[in-house]
Amino acid sequence: MCGIVGYYGPQDPKDVIVSGLKRLEYRGYDSAGVAILNDGKFKVVRAPGKLGELQKKLETEKFNGALGIGHTRWATHGVPNERNAHPHKVNGVSLVHNGIIENYAQIKERLRKDGVEFSSDTDSELVAHLIARKVKDTKDLFKAVQQVLPELTGAYSILVVWEDQPDTMVAFKNGPPLIIGVGEKEAVIASDVQAIISHTKKVMYLEDFEVAKVQGNKIEIFSATGEPRKKEIHQIEWSAEQVEKAGFKHFMLKEIHEQPRAVANAIAPHIRLDSKTVQLKNVGFSVNSLDELAKVDSEKDALATAEKLKGIERIFIVACGTSNYAGMAGKYLLERIAKIPVECDIASEFRYREPVIPPRSLVLVISQSGETADTLAALRLAKQAGATTMSICNVRHSTIDRESHGHLYMNSGAEIGVASTKAFVSTLGILNVFSIYLGRLRQAISEQQEKEFVDALLAAPAQMEAVLAYDRFFAEASGRLKAFRGLLYMGRGINFPLALEGALKLKELAYMHAEGYAAGEMKHGPLALIDERMLIVMVAPHDNHYEKTVSNLEEARARGGKIISIGTGDDPALKGISDFYLSLPKASWTINPILEAIPLQLLAYHVADAMGHDVDQPRNLAKSVTVE
């Protein structure tokens, strides 16, 4: 997930773009770059590493043009270095891209056959080549983009400029956000309003497959086929306090929107981009304390971790609340990918049920706060039983983190909202990494399978950004949703823990009755609950449970149930039996839970907000349950 900024206007584009990138640096900081008009040419300056490295390079650079684009990168294709940094320039066309071009291999092969030589390993550069080839015929950048659009599949937001039209910038997207700031004789286009707000509070939101054309002081929006689009100009009303919430009404909503970044931050340390393989970086099995972990020898630690984990024959995952539901999803990942037996326990049960923990067991505890009393007690019990222990925490140096043998981190940044969101999806990202790692260590997956699982993980942040668009849907639907007497969340397989999590979110935020159920259990009782005042939320992506889940839904429909279904792409079967249908991007079964979490969180958030509840601090709850 990257940050992109484009500017046309009377200010110095370098200042506007760099300050905008600074506001977007959280979206990725593997490398950064700008392409800004100078003497009729777009001068490209790029640097690996954080934005500061680019700023050093730009100190001595002067530009006399009015137009420029910039980018701060989270690498998905091609290792983070200057060669792979954006903008990419091809024959006068310069471009920045956030997202993933899924059909990049086919495009690259086609271009290679035409004799094209590449200056990077990125999928983004290919789009610059495609546009540069088209613009030779169209002699117009906007027309060239229109002709290239149908060739692209994937999640992308792109800004592109061309030296033969030095007053024109074209923007287009499918998935990741692009927002257009409408200033007095200037335009700022960026991934987030944070990069725009200091120039104007008037914005337009570009929708998927729309194309924006900035030409001089004119901003026009078109459909992909060229029909003009009339767009509403929204006024951003931010109070000073809201700036701290980055313009969001609540910390929880801000944290829901931070989730693509949170997953990216969680998995990045453990992914080797060049080989598309995973590693467990600095877990700490080679040291005895967290203080030593700070100075650990990564190579030595990797060997100690492999030595420790390859002897493991069973895993216990122990946690509370939302962390427990993440752990339950982890069971499906670990058993299907690593072929290792996994037991999941609620910590308050585990600590008192006198669990039988055989030798060569790993007890994996999950805790955002790292201070949950029951989870800590379970960890201590496991250590007393001689088990190897690992934790997945968000708060470093928390008690659970300190007392575990091995350490993995959610890396989500501070989670202020009591209802856990970004920590949950980060944990799912880490459990993906852990499953793939153990799968390779136990020779349960091939090299090709590992690459596919890693590719699916790398695509997740951009796909998550596409799903965040449902924020406005639930804001509008929340009034109707709160009228139901209760909600029944259901799913099968790895989607079942998501049903549990969705129900928990609604309970803890809206104080409404909600239950999560395995969809296969419907006939064993819940079917009796269903009438027109019970809203069913069915999590039904295109995975190996899809057909059975749809037939469960038809049973519920036949009894008058009202239905929200969450599925993959355009799904006429689900749409036909649902009152509301929410589509997710096509993703691996391992990634679906990360995408499904977002609408489930937004539903609960907006219903609670519509009820006037204190979303960030729901009644009776605390962010960390440090007592039994």
CB 474 within 8 Å of CB 609: no
- DSSP helix/strand/coil, 342: strand
Going by their DSSP bridges, the two strands 486-491 and 388-393 should be labelled as: unpaired
CB of 393 to ligand AGP, least distance (A): 8
Closest CB to ligand AGP among 120 and 412? 412
CB of 297 to ligand AGP, least distance (A): 30
CB 303 within 8 Å of CB 281: no
Using rule CB under 6 A, residue 625 touches ligand AGP: yes
Which of 24, 219, 418, 604 is the binder for ligand AGP (CB under 6 A)? 418
Closest CA to 455 of 175, 100, 74: 100
Q: Is 2 a catalytic residue?
A: yes
Closest CB to ligand AGP among 104 and 409? 409
Using rule CB under 6 A, residue 259 touches ligand AGP: no
Using rule CB under 6 A, residue 368 touches ligand AGP: yes
Using rule CB under 6 A, residue 601 touches ligand AGP: no
CB of 606 to ligand AGP, least distance (A): 16
Which of 420, 426, 549, 583 is the binder for ligand AGP (CB under 6 A)? 420
CB atoms within 10 A of CB 61: 12
Binding mask 460-499 for ligand AGP (x = CB under 6 A): ----------------------------------------
DSSP tag of 114: T
What is the crossing angle of helices 592-610 and 422-441, to 10°?
170
Q: Given 41, 57, 308, 623, which residue is catalytic?
A: 623
Residue type, 142: F
Using rule CB under 6 A, residue 165 touches ligand AGP: no
Closest CA to 316 of 324, 308, 307: 324
CB of 316 to ligand AGP, least distance (A): 16
Residue number with the smallest Cβ distance to ligand AGP: 321
Q: How far, CA to CA in Å, does 49 sit from each of 14, 52, 75, 404?
A: 19, 8, 11, 32
Using rule CB under 6 A, residue 419 touches ligand AGP: yes
Which of 76, 84, 200, 369 is the binder for ligand AGP (CB under 6 A)? 369
Residue 64 is encoded by which pair of tokens? 């006399």
Q: Is 393 a catalytic residue?
A: no
Using rule CB under 6 A, residue 161 touches ligand AGP: no
- Using CB under 6 A as the binding rule, the residues of this chain from 287 to 346 that contact ligand AGP are 320-323
CB atoms within 10 A of CB 553: 24
Q: Given 2, 320, 344, 393, which residue is catalytic?
A: 2
Q: What is the CA radius of gyration of the chain?
A: 25
Using rule CB under 6 A, residue 372 touches ligand AGP: yes
Using rule CB under 6 A, residue 508 touches ligand AGP: yes
Using rule CB under 6 A, residue 31 touches ligand AGP: no
Closest CA to 347 of 325, 377, 369: 377
- DSSP helix/strand/coil, 396: coil
> Sign of the C-alpha dihedral, residues 145, 146, 148, 152?
positive
Residue type, 230: K
- Residue 100: burial class (beta carbons within 10 Å; 0-12, 13-18, 19+): buried
Region from 330-338, 367-375, 442-450, 484-492 binding ligand AGP, contact rule CB under 6 A: 367-375
Closest CA to 119 of 85, 86, 83: 83
- DSSP helix/strand/coil, 603: helix
CB of 351 to ligand AGP, least distance (A): 13
CB of 623 to ligand AGP, least distance (A): 7
Closest CB to ligand AGP among 165 and 367? 367
Catalytic residue annotation:
2, 623
Could you list the residues that contact ligand AGP (CB under 6 A)?
Answer: 320-323, 367-369, 372, 375, 418-420, 508, 624-625
